[in-house]
Amino acid sequence: MRKRWIGCAVWLLLAACLYFFENNTGTRTVLAASLLVPLVPLLRRVFFAADAPAAEAERPLPLTIRTFARQETDEPGDVREYRPGDPIRRIHWKLSAKKDALLVRETAAEPEVVEEEQLSSAPADGQKVRHAGRAAGLLLGLMLLCAALLLLIPEARHGFQALCNRIFAASEARNAYAYTFFTVAENQRVWLAAALLTILFAALTALVLLLRSRVFLLGIMAGCTLFQAYFGLPFPAWVNIPLYGLLALGMLRRPVSRKSLLSVLGTALGTALLIVLLFPGVDAATESASETVRDQLSRMAQQAAGVVSELPEGETETRHVHTQSLQTGANEARTGREYRLVTVEEEQISQPHWIDWLKVSLLLLLTVALLSLPFAPFLLLNARKKKALEARKAFASEDVGEAVRAIFRHVVLWLSETGHDAGNLLYRDWPDVLPEELTEAYARRFARCAMDYEEAAYSEHALPEETRQRALELLQETETALWKAADWRQRLRIRYWMCLCE
Amino acid sequence: MQSQLESVIREVEKVIAGKRPVIEKILMALLAEGHVLLDDVPGVGKTTLAVALSRAVGLAFQRVQFTPDVLPSDLVGFSMYDKASGDFVYRPGALSRANLVLGDEINRAASKTQSALLEAMEERQLTVDGKTYPLEAPFIVIATENSVGTAGTQFLPYAQLDRFLVRLSLGYPDYEAQMSLLRERQTGNPLDTVARVMEKDELISLQWEARNVTVKDAILDYITRLALASRAHEAVEIGISPRGALFLSRMAKAMAFLEGRDYVNGADVQEVLRDVCAHRMLLKADVRQTTAEQVLEELLRKVENPDRRGLFPGMRKA
């Protein structure tokens, strides 16, 4: 329980940070969509059904703890003779011993239950599940019916189009978007479409509540986000944050671990940056402030030039004179103290935010990365090739021990690159865990060479030349055997190394 | 395998059937000049094993059955007033002339007696009345400890446990071994058939050879990492001591020598780690259902072995 509260607190903190971020950067509400991010780790759980039975199994058995009021009735007045059928726990043993007869406490009522704590909800038995399934089916049918009606009844369809037109109009009033409006009458009544839509959403909500499905909640979230982003009609942040928060809280059913929280925070940060890059948005406040200041400046210039607002008739010459006088006016005005103050203000307003620098540097980084991408394989190949050639050079070393070490290292590398790595085992123990496709004889040879390797690695005396031959044979055998056993992906990789090594 | 050592093992196996690994390990301890603690239930042949070994190698054998009233002077000897000379004469104790001392049920001894053993075991000398008498080489203590019937016993102090090179356990014989034991003991004592196949001097020279087995830095590095990992392990109060690490390297050398190699490899260390280090580890009191052996197994799994280490500098997977 406490974990969940901590989760809530972290959630709120995150939301507050995002709110602050949004206010400061002018990146509009698309950011609020990044509240979706914490759900990314959940997606795995949502989409991988394999987790579901495990989650079911984790659910504890229904348990109820009852705390009974302690009975302290020792007065003999409450006691009567034992009759067959009386509960044994009600026998007053002390008095019974004294009186030499079984006596029971005469309490009419059962011990009073002071506290009843349900440890977990009752399990959904088959009956309930069946009911839920039927209800879900009904709701789904209702939704389909609503959607069909919405499309089939002309009245409803036109109403829906009119509703869309209104949304388009609202969006156009706010943004510079241009929409293709539906051709419907201005005074088209929308009540039928609105009613059908309401029923649709009500059914959807009921379905979500019934199924407790995360996918549905996720769908709703995505819908909200898409709506806001597509129409450019963002809800204010104080609506968005509680909305997404509630939806997300509905999904977070189990307490979150620290690891998942960390990954959530990391992903949130990443997504926030991505959103800043992709949907920069406009800060309305900065825009209007800068507009005002620029107006002020031009008004001052006009005043200094003594130009009245009306322009002479559109002749080129007078316009030229007018511009010139404006310039001289500007020059004169520039000497004024007020003008300077306003200029400073303008500069401050149009100064780039730190977040803009961040964007620019990120973009630069991305550009550099993209530009260098085509060369990456060459860099990588060269490095690998050099390494591989160096490794092979040791095969012919004067020192047989060194050669044996290098060859055996190569064998082990082959094995481990093709997925037969035995982990932290001594090489002499590897034959026990070698894959089946490698033969018994191979395992024996491997064991023999492992001994050679040990001698080469840990002893001080020189090794005979034949150990080098033995190791080379093992390497060859390893290569052929593994090539036979490899699947196409491994073969591709093997061929790649071979290209490098030759 | 050295032929002399092989014949010693064969002789000892005449009386203790089917326990070759333990015999080998005791022989290794002998080669590494370390002391052995046998921890076992009564009646599995701990004493027989020690006697057979002393006979096969030709060591002077002494046996002390520890009880609470065995006194330090019984072990190290004492000075007695000699009326005739008017002087104090040193009377040697049980340890004085022995090469191989069997201390039976050492955990029954009083703590002062136990501590008298300490100097003998570590310094290989005795000090009586301020005079120091060096012990004859080789000097090896094989102590036994019963894990049952612990009434009237006390735990060996940690300091004393740390002085034993290995702690071994014989365990019950299997069916075959039990049958052959019963058959042989019907008529005579097989101990009488144990022949002396090695002299004391030969043992000393073998010890010297075992000391000169090569240990590369890679192996020492492995031992060090094992010791450090044991000290850092969360369930461990006291890990492998520096002396433990030293003993581990010595025992690994003896193991390599016994196998006829002149260099130590990773497998030697892994093989003897349990016997050398299990009794040196003190687990935390709040750790239940974990034994030192389990911790050591875990270390062997987790600590990167010398074969692997540094082979692939940029290796991505373990």
Q: How many residues does chain A have?
A: 502
What residues in B contact A457, CB-CB < 8 Å? Answer: 216, 218, 265, 306-307
Write out pLDDT tens, residues A340-393: 788 787 777 766 666 667 777 887 888 787 777 777 776 777 777 777 777 777
The domain containing residue A269 runs over which residues? 2-55+126-278
Task: Tell me, yes or no, whether A344 and A384 share the same domain.
Answer: no
How much is the pLDDT for B82? 81
pLDDT of residue A54: 40
- Regarding whether A388 and A436 lie in a shared domain, the answer is yes
| pLDDT 10s digits, B26-64 | 999 999 988 999 888 878 888 888 888 888 988 888 888
Whether residues A7 and A95 share a domain: the answer is no
Taking alpha carbons only, the member of A459, A463, A465, A497 closest to residue A478 is A497
Cα maximum dimension of chain A: 132
Q: In what order do the strands lie in the sheet with B100-104?
A: B61-65, B100-104, B140-146, B35-40, B164-168
Q: What pLDDT shows up at residue A60?
A: 42
All residues of chain A having their beta carbon less than 8 Å from the beta carbon of residue B308 are 424
Q: CA distances (Å), A96 to each of A71, A85, A107, in order?
A: 17, 17, 16
Condensed to tens digits (0 to 9), the pLDDT of residues B89-103 reads 888 888 888 888 888
Query: What's the pLDDT tens digit per position in B259-317?
Result: 888 899 889 999 999 999 988 888 888 877 788 888 999 999 888 888 887 665 544 33
CB contacts of B257 in chain A (<8 Å) are: none
- Of A118, A137, A153, at which residue does a domain stop? A118
Tokens encoding A71 = 């009975």
Residues A251 and A299 placed together within one structural domain of the fold: no
When comparing pLDDT for B162 and A109, which is higher?
B162
Q: Would you put residue A12 in left (φ > 0), alpha (ψ -120 to 50) or beta?
A: alpha
The residue extents of the domains of chain B are 3-207, 212-302
Rounded Cα–Cα distance for residues B48 and B191 (Å): 8
The span from the first CA to the last CA of chain B, in angstroms, equals: 34
Which residues lie below 8 Å from residue B202, measured CB to CB, with a gap of 6+?
Answer: B4
- d(CA B195, CA A278) in angstroms, rounded, equals 91
B62's tokens: 């002494």
Question: Both A341 and A400 in a single domain?
Answer: no
Asked whether residue A106 is domain-assigned, the answer is yes
In this structure, are residues A31 and A271 in contact, taking their beta carbons and an 8 Å threshold?
Answer: no
Question: How far does the CA of residue A30 sit from the closest CA of chain B (Å)?
Answer: 39
State the CB neighbour count (10 A cutoff) for residue A494.
17
For residue B267, give the chain A residue with the closest CA.
A426
- In angstroms, rounded to a whole number, what is the distance separating the alpha carbons of residues A467 and A477? 15
- Residue A250 resides in a domain: yes
Residues of A in contact with B260 (CB under 8 A): none
Number of domains in chain A: 4
**Neighbour-count burial of A332, counting CB atoms closer than 10 A to its CB (0-12 exposed, 13-18 middle, 19+ buried):** middle
Residue A442 inside a domain? The answer is yes
B297 and chain A: CB distance < 8 Å anywhere?
Answer: no
Tokens of A268: 């949130």
Name the CATH architecture for the domain at B212-302.
Orthogonal Bundle (1.10)
User: Residues A477, A495: one domain?
Assistant: yes
The answer to the question of residue A287 being in a domain is no
Residues facing B103 on adjacent strands: B64, B143
* Distance between CA atoms of residues A205 and A367, nearest Å: 44
For residue B269, the model assigns a pLDDT of: 92
CA B62/CA B103 separation, integer angstroms: 9
A412 CB neighbours in chain B (<8 A) are 311
Mean pLDDT of B157-171: 85
Assign residue A435 the CATH number of its domain. Answer: 1.20.120
Query: To the nearest 10°, the Cα dihedral for A164, A165, A169, A170?
Result: -30
Same structural domain, A144 and A228: yes
Does residue A249 fall inside a structural domain?
A: yes
Query: Confidence class of residue B171 from pLDDT cuts 50, 70 and 90?
Result: confident
Residues A99 and A134 in one domain: no
Strand bridging mode B35-40 / A79-81: unpaired
Residues 6+ apart with CB under 8 A from A196: A146, A149, A150, A156
Whether residue A315 is found in the same domain as residue A395: no
Could you tell me if A18 and A144 lie in one domain?
yes
Q: Are residues A391 and A428 in the same domain?
A: yes
Residues A92 and A132 in one domain: no
Using the Cβ of A402 and the Cβ atoms of chain B, whether some distance falls under 8 Å is answered with no
Nearest by CB to residue A426, choosing from B216, B266, B318, is: B266
> B267, A428 in Cβ contact below 8 A?
yes
Best mutation target among B213, B299, B308, B312 (most A Cβ atoms within 10 Å) is B308
CATH class of B3-207: alpha beta
ipTM for the assembly: 0.79
Alpha carbons B181 and B178: distance in angstroms, whole number: 5
Residue A284 placed within a domain: no
Assess A380–B contact: CB distance below 8 Å, yes or no.
no
Per the domain annotation, does A73 fall within a domain?
A: yes
